[in-house]
Structure 1
Amino acid sequence: MNRRLFIQQASLFTITLASAKILSACSSTNADNSNSASNSAIKEINFGVLSTESQANQKPIWEPFAAAMSKEVGIPIKPFYVTQYAAVIEAMRFGKVQAAWLGGKSYIEAAKVAEAEAFAQVVSKDGTRGYYSHLIANKDNPITAEAKAVGGDQYVIKNAANLTFAFNEPNSTSGFLVPSYYIFTKNNVDPKTAFKRLVFAGNHEACALAVANKQVDVATVSNEALNRLEKTNPTARQKIEIIWQSPLIPSDPIVYRQDLPADIKQKLQNFFYNYKDAKIIEPFGISGFVKAEDKTWHTIRELEIAKKIQETQAKDNLSEKEKQQKIAELNQQLKEIQLN
């Protein structure tokens, strides 16, 4: 993805928890510490799995992957399934989860409060390091043809008062942050008050099924979730039409807590950088993983800041001086990110 394009798009509209040291007894700052010393302290690793769909659908693809990871690292790796994005962040914050597969927005929050550090990034089947957010509607819904004709984002903005709409949940990148910014913030629309009914479905699968079952008119979902739905519920997928696609979003980060022992970090890196068993990773809809660092997800930080700038400009309860002061602070944050 062209990072600068993301920055420019965001900037056009600007004119501008302390973590409990549960693992401290087994932390190591020396990469040469013996494996036996570290492994005697850490008996297993809980690996956070975000609820992009139901746990029943996740287990068959996650258990073989976790088994392969366990073999490489030398200690049991147990998938830690959660029902909300915030749950894995809180679990990592308090040391109940030591590593995780996060989304961009949830990683940024985890880096702030849970000592999360990104070390790898997902690579899509086509070799790209990104994915898309979509607006979807039911093919049989009378709105769908017109929405596709005029552009789903513009149709939703113009007809929001007559529509029911579902976001994923507030910590979702593709299910909330990206569509929220590109569709609503840029058009000075508050989705909380714009729709006939607004719901947070909780995960991508729930959003897709809400549309397929005609429970809502329009919902957000990622292209990856739609690809999974083709396999887990092809009947539902056939009922869904894409009416809008976002710019490319940086693909998901793989993270661990900063206080993991150095040898455990190295073994996790070795696994993710080199694992190529297509039979195991194909169900994830990816081709593998590559080395990554924190700044890979700066574009998500930039989007959040640009969104805050737009929201500040629209606030009626702030004086012009207060608005300018807050916007200046946000622009400084944006500048600092862009310099890193």
Structure 2
Amino acid sequence: MVLAGSLAGIQTLQAEEAKVLTFGIISTESSQNLKTVWMPFLDDMSAKLGMEVKPFFASDYAGIIQGMRFDKVDVAWYGNKSAMEAVDRAGGEIFAQTVDVTGNPGYWSLLLARADDDRINSVEDMLKLTGELAFGNGDPNSTSGFLVPSYYVFAKNGVDPKKAFKRMTNSSHESNFLAVANGQVDVATNNTETMARVKITHPDKVAKVKVIWKSPLIPADPIVWRKNLPERVKSKVYDFLMNYGKTGDSKETKILADLQWAPFKASSNDQLLPIRQLVLYKERVKLAKASDLSDAEKAEKIQAIDDKLSELSRRMEAISVAVAN
């Protein structure tokens, strides 16, 4: 009788929990701006799922990752780097991918400088001014604001950003854009998606900045759910996202366009493979310069990274072949 009562209690609790879904939204700009574009989407989601969908905003990416780790966040929009942290440390799983409103297969990391600063028109110009500039870096869990420039701009040029600038801050994409536009920093990281947004939210400031560097293509942002979410809820969420904006409903199309997206497509944790490569490349570059290891220790650790990189390359090649066939 006790066992039956306990099971009934668990089932009742699960039923109650299924009435509310918490959707994590990474802090690319102010919470108020994010609410403006996200609430219509979440309201539609609530209506279609038959349960309340509540937004979860945090001051940084880590807050969303931790929220998922402790089952406070059920589904979340991440960048690839933060999604990797969620998958590896917070029980997350990628099931969908955003699509750029213009149809791009991804987006690009950028470095911005003030339009009227004739000293800085390229990465080379920036690096020549060692110790003279203030730099606006991204959130440490941001793909475009931190990971991609860390590798392509700094690691590949053998530069430690902590030593390259007189001052360095970590902020959201919107804050970094405004910091450059307002002359508070000389250079800052950003991305093409945010630049499309600020043309709407801060049109008067767009002409005050210029792009001095653009990265290789970054895979479009993933949507992640916690793996222990009830299967019936996963099924509802998946069906909603896979069909949203595909029925010819002009309202849904506009809501997606306001988010700078076209309809979603299915995805998996495999979309993180090139991001994992970037992380390993960065570790390898750092390790090769390490002075606190013997040659033998360094060689052993570098070989271990090279083995992981080779395995990632094999997996990516196998996926490409499978897709081609």
TM-score > 0.5, shorter chain as reference: yes
Match of 2:47 in 1: 71
Q: 2:243 aligns with which of 234, 251, 274?
A: 274
Give the Å deviation of 1:72.
Answer: 1.9
Q: 2:264 aligns with which of 274, 289, 292?
A: 289
Cα-to-partner distance string for 1:24-69 (whole Å, 9 max, x where unaligned): x57xxxxxxxxx9964442201100011000111111111110111
Match of 1:317 in 2: 292
Query: Any conservation in 2 of the 1:39–1:75 contact (CA below 8 Å)?
Result: no
Cα-to-partner distance string for 1:77-123 (whole Å, 9 max, x where unaligned): 11101110111000100011011000000000110111100000011
Q: Which has the higher contact order (CA 8 A, sep 6+)?
A: 1
Query: Any conservation in 2 of the 1:157–1:183 contact (CA below 8 Å)?
Result: no
Question: Distance between the aligned counterparts of 2:30 and 2:119, measured in 1?
Answer: 29
Query: Any conservation in 2 of the 1:123–1:289 contact (CA below 8 Å)?
Result: yes
The TM-score with structure 2 as length reference comes to 0.89
Cα-to-partner distance string for 1:130-173 (whole Å, 9 max, x where unaligned): 000000011122324xx1xxxx2222222232221110111110
Counterpart check, 1:225 vs 2:200 = no
Q: 1:111 aligns with which of 87, 111, 121?
A: 87
The TM-score with structure 1 as length reference comes to 0.85
Match of 1:235 in 2: 204
Counterpart check, 1:176 vs 2:143 = no
Question: Distance between the aligned counterparts of 2:290 and 2:49, measured in 1?
Answer: 51
Query: Any conservation in 2 of the 1:117–1:294 contact (CA below 8 Å)?
Result: yes
Give the Å deviation of 1:283.
Answer: 1.0
Match of 2:3 in 1: none
Match of 2:303 in 1: 328
Query: Any conservation in 2 of the 1:122–1:129 contact (CA below 8 Å)?
Result: no
Question: Distance between the aligned counterparts of 2:13 and 2:68, measured in 1?
Answer: 23
Question: Distance between the aligned counterparts of 1:160 and 1:107, measured in 2?
Answer: 33
Match of 1:193 in 2: 163
Question: Distance between the aligned counterparts of 2:95 and 2:273, measured in 1?
Answer: 14
Query: Any conservation in 1 of the 2:18–2:233 contact (CA below 8 Å)?
Result: no
Match of 2:320 in 1: none
Gap runs ≥5 in structure 1: 1-24, 27-35
Question: Distance between the aligned counterparts of 2:87 and 2:154, measured in 1?
Answer: 27
Q: 2:35 aligns with which of 59, 62, 69?
A: 59
When structure 1 is superposed on structure 2, of 303-312 and 64-73 the one drifting more is 64-73
Question: Distance between the aligned counterparts of 1:41 and 1:52, measured in 2?
Answer: 29
Q: 1:94 aligns with which of 62, 70, 81?
A: 70
Question: Distance between the aligned counterparts of 2:105 and 2:90, measured in 1?
Answer: 25
Match of 1:80 in 2: 56
Q: 1:199-210 counterparts in 2 under 5 A?
A: 199-200=169-170, 202-210=171-179
Query: Any conservation in 1 of the 2:110–2:212 contact (CA below 8 Å)?
Result: yes
SS of equivalent to 1:56:
helix
Counterpart check, 1:257 vs 2:226 = yes
Counterpart check, 1:122 vs 2:98 = yes
Question: Distance between the aligned counterparts of 1:138 and 1:226, measured in 2?
Answer: 14
Identity of aligned residues (%): 42
Query: Any conservation in 2 of the 1:38–1:263 contact (CA below 8 Å)?
Result: no
Question: Distance between the aligned counterparts of 1:252 and 1:167, measured in 2?
Answer: 19
SS of equivalent to 1:162:
coil
Cα-to-partner distance string for 1:236-259 (whole Å, 9 max, x where unaligned): 222111111000000100010001
Structure 1 segments of 4 or more deviating over 6 A? none
How many positions carry a matched residue from both structures? 300
Question: Distance between the aligned counterparts of 2:144 and 2:273, measured in 1?
Answer: 15
Letter of the aligned partner of 1:306 in structure 2? Y
Query: Any conservation in 2 of the 1:119–1:255 contact (CA below 8 Å)?
Result: yes
Query: Any conservation in 1 of the 2:135–2:186 contact (CA below 8 Å)?
Result: yes
SS of equivalent to 1:127:
coil
Question: Distance between the aligned counterparts of 1:299 and 1:85, measured in 2?
Answer: 20
Query: Any conservation in 2 of the 1:135–1:220 contact (CA below 8 Å)?
Result: yes
